[in-house]
Structure 1
Amino acid sequence: MSEASVPPAEPAPAPRRSALPAALTVLTVVSGFVDAVSYLGLGRVFAANMTGNVIIIGFAAAGAPGFSVLGSVTSLGAFLAGAVCAGRLTGVFAGRARATWVRSVFVTEAVLLAVATAVAFAWPGGATYTLIAVLAWAMGLRNATVRKLGVPDMTTTVLTMTLTGFASESSLAGGTAPRTGRRIASVVAMLAGATLGALLVLHHGLGWPLLVGTLLVAAAAAGYREPASDADDIRSA
C-alpha cells in the first residue's frame, strides 16, 4: 500500500476534565453555611475553621467575654476525630478508583450534615454541643480528605493561602497569576455561603441553612465523576 493511500489517523479524543474542582467549590460554599451556623447560632464557635477556634480559646483564656472554651474545645476534638476517620478511610479505599473514595467521603459528610439538620429542627435552641460535635466531625473528615487530594487553592474551609497566592503571584507582583479563576471562585464561594448562611440563621434558625448545606453536599456526591484511568486511584490522589 502506498503512503498516499494510508488513511489519516483519527485525532485522539480530548481528555475529560476532572469534576473535582467544581465539587470542591460546592463544598466551599457549604463551609460558609456551616460556620455561619456554628458562629452565629452555637455560641461563637467555628466548626470548619479551626484556626478561629484556637484564637477563640486564647481570647477566652485572657478573660474576653462572650467566648466559649468548652465549645471551641469540643469543636477541635470532634474535628480531629473526623480527620482520624478520614485517615482510616484512606487505608480502606487504597488501590480503588479515586472517584469511589471521594464520593464515599462526600456521602458521609452529607449524612452527618443531615443528622445535624434533624437535631436542629427537633431541638431548636438546644443540643448545642451535639451540633458542634457533629458539624466539626464532618469538617474534619472532609479537610483530611481534601488535604490528601492536594488540589491547589481548594482547601474548602480556609482562604489565607489562597489569598496570599492571589496577591503574591499576581501580575502586579511580577508573577504569572496562575489559577486566578479558581482562586477567585474559592473566595466568592466562601463569601456566598457565609452570606446566605447568615441570612438563614438570622431569619429562620439553624435547621434551614443546615438543610441547604446537606442538599448541596448530596448533589456534589451525586454529580461527581472522574475520567477513567488505571492510575487514577487513591494512591495517586
Structure 2
Amino acid sequence: MSITLPKSRLLPCLLLSLSATTGLVDAASVLGLGKVFTANMTGNVVFLGFAAAGAPGFKVVPSVLALAAFMVGAWGAGHLARAHVERPLGRWLMWAAAIETGLLWIAALIALEIDVVAQAPTTGVMSVIALTGFAMGLRNATVRQLKVPDLTTTVLTLTITGIAADQVAGRSPNFLRRFGAVLSIFAGAAVGALLLIHGGLALPLALAGAVVLGATVAFLRDPAAAVPHKA
C-alpha cells in the first residue's frame, strides 16, 4: 500500500533525522548485541549467511530473531497505516513514532543490565534484539509507504548508486538529499559507537528513541501534517 502525500517542507527533515537513528540502533546492535543488525536487514542476512557457514563470531539465532521481529514490526505498520486512512498524516506518523520510541526506550532499560563483553544475560540480549528489530520493521514499513525519493532511512545502496549513476552535466539530481541521507546514517553510527563505548549500550538506544519522538513532534508544525492521507 502507498499513500498520496501533500507537499511538505519538514517531511524530508524528519526522514533525515530518522536516518540518523538507524546509525544509532545499528551501532547498538552490531557493537553491543553480538554482531547482529536490527535496522539493516541486508547486513543481517549476510551475517546470517556467515553464521550458517560456521564463521567464528556469528550466530544463527540472533540473526533469525532480528529478521522475524523486523517482519512482525513491518506487518504491524501495515495495519497501523490502514487504520489511519483518511486521517491526518501527522496523527498516523505520531502513532508510529510513539510505538517505536516506546520500544526503543524499553530496550534501553533492559540494556542497562546487559554485560556487553559477556553478552549476558542471554534473555536480556535477545529481548533487546527483538524489541529493536520490531521497532525498525515498524519504521521501515511506515517510511516505505511515504515513498519519498532517496530517503528510506535505513538503506543506502541505491542512494549511493544514484549519486554516481545520475550525474548529468556534472550535476546529480537530489544530490543534497542523497548526501544528507548518507551523512545522517554515518553520523548516527559514529555517535552511537561513541556512546556505547564510553557510556554503555543503553545510551544510543535511549537517544534514538528521543530523536524519533522529537523529530516527529516537530513535523506536526508542518501544514502537511494536518492533511488527510489516502491509501
TM over 0.5: yes
Match of 1:21 in 2: 12
Answer yes or no: is the 8 Å Cα contact 2:114–2:125 preserved in 1.
no
Match for residue 185 of structure 2? 190
Shift of 1:176: 4.8
Greater shift, 184-193 or 197-206, is seen at: 197-206
Q: Give the AA of the match of 2:164.
A: A
Match of 1:72 in 2: 63
Contact 1:81 1:140 in 2 (8 A): yes
Structure 1 residue ranges, 4+ long, deviating more than 6 angstroms after superposition:
none
Aligned in 2, Cα 1:228/1:234: closer, same or farther, shift over 3 Å? Answer: closer
Contact 1:114 1:211 in 2 (8 A): yes
Query: Which stretches in structure 2 are left out of the alignment for 5+ residues?
Result: 1-5
Q: CA RMSD in A?
A: 1.9
Q: Distance in 2 between matches of 1:229 and 1:213?
A: 22
Structure 1 regions of 5+ residues with no counterpart?
A: 1-14
For 1:7, the equivalent position in structure 2 comes to none
What is the alpha-carbon distance in structure 1 between the residues aligned to residue 225 and residue 209 of structure 2?
A: 30
Larger radius of gyration: 1
Structure 1 stretch 82-91 or stretch 205-214: which is displaced more?
Answer: 205-214
Q: CA offset at residue 222 of structure 1? A: 1.6
Deviation digits for residues 15-59 of structure 1 (CA, Å, limit 9, x no counterpart): 984311101111111100100000001010000000111111111
Q: Is the 8 A contact 1:169 1:175 kept in 2?
A: no
Deviation at 1:130, TM superposition (A): 0.2
Q: Distance in 1 between matches of 2:8 and 2:224?
A: 11
Distance 2:225 2:180 in 1: 27
Number of equivalenced pairs: 219
Normalized against structure 1, the TM-score is what?
A: 0.87
Aligned to 1:140: 137
Percent identity (aligned):
45
Query: What TM-score do you get using the length of structure 2 for normalisation?
Result: 0.89
Which of 63, 66, 72 is 1:81 aligned to? Answer: 72
What is residue 167 of structure 1 aligned with on the other side?
A: 164
Contact 1:48/1:157, CA 8 A, preserved across alignment: yes
